[in-house]
Amino acid sequence: MLAYTLFAGILFGLYFSLVGLGLNLVFGVMRIVNLAHGDFLMLGAYLAFWLYTLSEVNPVAVIPLAFALFVLIGLPLYYILVPRLLAANDPEMLSIILFFGLSQVIEALAGIVFGRSERSIPGGELGRALAGFVNLFPGAKMESGPVEIFGQTFPAAWVVAGLASLLAVLCLYVYLYRTRLGALTRAVMADREEALSTGIDTHRVSAIAFAIGIALAAIGGVFAPFMLGSITPAMGVEATVTSFAVIVIGSLGNPLGTVLGGIVYGVSYMLMQSYLSSWANLLPYLLLIAILLVRPSGLLGRQVRLA
């Protein structure tokens, strides 16, 4: 039981890393708090649900579409909302108010468009995608059922979500540390004013980071029906709280520190589900309180003023 819980916690931890990754990227580059982060995750979940319902598109195939679509949404949204926010005396506090309002607008519109009923996607869809990929290799043969890892059997949806989340983290690492734009992004993260004085177009760099952050949330939403259960327009608030718990555990402003936060959160979540299930819903709040009291900068971070 314990071995199963720990392995499941790692899979969920990788997924929760993806859930919080975009939020931490946005905060690291702009020092603004996107309280609408979970609502973009919710929209990604509905994108996957409706494409599956209307055209039986496998959720794995929705990932590149979700990324491209939400990058296109994020770029103009940045220029509409963020530049004036960054020019204010206290952008962090104002961002909380602004993006809380945006969150409420998105949730209300989603409720009108999608209705308040809970929706879900059959878990076997990700299993079929994984089996199809594995069977592409010569001599490989895999059924679309559960996956056995180290003698433990897990739903294929958990494995696919974990692997996709790990791939997203690796892609962000390549972007930040192996590309010129990533180097510019890290320069803005280190000191925005100094980056501006050296001639870096900080708004261009920030707009791209903001769009990528929203797109990563949408990709997390594609797997939400399998990892978080049914989806509703109101799920965004809980997803945002979970994201904050993950990034505070790892390190505010350090996107790759989110991986450690996600693993700690995922293992804790599965342990609570297994042994103290009635307390599981309190976990994000308990971890937030504990980390803020013991190590406010996170496990890997330096001191950062949040508000």
Q: Which residues contact residue 299 at a Cβ distance below 8 angstroms, ignoring those fewer than 6 apart?
A: 249, 250, 251, 257, 260, 261, 264, 291
306 pLDDT higher than 50: no
88 pLDDT higher than 90: no
Taking only the tens place, the pLDDT of each residue in 132-169 is: 666 666 666 666 677 877 777 888 888 899 999 999 99
pLDDT score for 301: 59
Structural domain containing residue 30: 2-294
Q: Of the given ranges (39-53, 79-93, 125-139, 157-171), which has the lowest mean pLDDT?
A: 125-139
Q: What's 225's domain CATH number?
A: 1.10.3470
Number of domains in the chain: 1
The answer to whether residue 71 sits within a structural domain is yes
The answer to whether residue 307 sits within a structural domain is no
**Number of other CB atoms surrounding residue 211 within 10 Å:** 22
174 pLDDT higher than 90: yes
The answer to whether residue 304 sits within a structural domain is no
100 pLDDT higher than 50: yes
The answer to whether residue 54 sits within a structural domain is yes
Once rounded to an integer, what is the mean pLDDT over residues 175-180? 93
pLDDT score for 278: 77
pLDDT > 90: percent of the chain: 52
Q: Which residue has the tokens 């679309």?
A: 144
d(CA 242, CA 71): 22
The answer to whether residue 116 sits within a structural domain is yes
The answer to whether residue 75 sits within a structural domain is yes
pTM: 0.91
265 pLDDT higher than 60: yes
52 pLDDT higher than 70: yes
pLDDT score for 304: 42
Once rounded to an integer, what is the mean pLDDT over residues 37-63? 94
Once rounded to an integer, what is the mean pLDDT over residues 47-69? 93
d(CA 66, CA 72): 10
